[in-house]
Amino acid sequence: MRLIEAKGMTVALAGQVVLRDVDFHVDPGEIVTIVGPNGSGKSTLLRTLIGALRPEAGEIRRKPDLRLGYVPQKLQIDATLPLTVGRFLSLPRRIAAAQAQAALDEAGAGTLTDRPMADLSGGQFQRVLLARALLGRPDLLLLDEPTQGLDQPGSAAFYRQIEQIRARLGCAVVMVSHELHVVMSASDRVVCLNGHVCCQGHPETVAQAAEYRALFGTGTHGALALYRHEHSHSHDHDHSHDHTDHVH
């Protein structure tokens, strides 16, 4: 049974249609990478899947009792709210200290328990968000541009970590990426979004594109792959995305 399935979904933000007639689904245990240019509705798609936005049309079906782990792109915590990392992890369900520590260790943030959230760097904050998402033992982990601000080795390390988490928890992963052409090689499926689903399919591995392997080197240990977009339609000018640097 599918974890989540959206059919004919149309979503508007402040009266502007951002997603039109989108079909999207996630099967248990698969890793789906969503790519698309800025403003293509990637974050909107995730926020609709978690229930924060209501589609104007279409339907979303969830597996009963689906457990979601959501890592937002950014989070602004008001300076007047005192919150340590440990306390943040206990929201909304209170958890034992040992459990919090285990989740932080798993996310690579083991030393941060007593630190105020306001003092964390961007990368540390991201790891804490990941730790919190893992605490709920999710069936489906949704990550919104988790590698933003990371360099390529950093992205590669993060992707390997996600692979390990999937292997251990058996959860499905939906990841939004700001990179159009370089995606996580462990992706079972890449969905290219631009207000609608443009194309989707398996990523090609770096190994098959020697010229790009030269470009990206081997320092990623195979964590990065190229994605060949197979569009069968043309775009209007206002949301065309640059095809000139595709691998063809």
- Residue closer to other proteins by CB (options 10, 73) is 73
Rule CB under 8 A: which of 103-122 touch other proteins? 116
CB of 128 to other proteins, least distance (A): 12
Q: Which of 39, 57, 59, 91 binds other proteins (CB under 8 A)?
A: 91
- DSSP assignment string, the chain: --SEEEEEEEEEETTEEEEEEEEEEE-TT-EEEEE--TTSSHHHHHHHHTTSS--SEEEEEE-TT--EEEE-S-----TTS--BHHHHHTSSS---HHHHHHHHHHTT-TT-TTSBGGG--HHHHHHHHHHHHHHT--SEEEEESTTTT--HHHHHHHHHHHHHHHHHH--EEEEEES-SSEEETT-SEEEEESSSEEEEEPPEEGGG-HHHHHHH-STTTT-EEE------S---GGG----TT---
Q: Give whichever of 99 and 240 is closer to other proteins, judged by the CB atom.
A: 99
Task: Give me the 25-64 binding string for other proteins, x by CB under 8 A, dash otherwise.
Answer: ----------------------x--xxx------------
- For other proteins, the closer of residues 81 and 98 by Cβ is 81
Among 20, 63, 87, 213, binds other proteins (CB under 8 A): 87
Residues in touch with other proteins (CB under 8 A):
14, 47, 50-52, 68-70, 72, 75, 77-78, 80-84, 87-88, 90-94, 116, 132, 136, 142
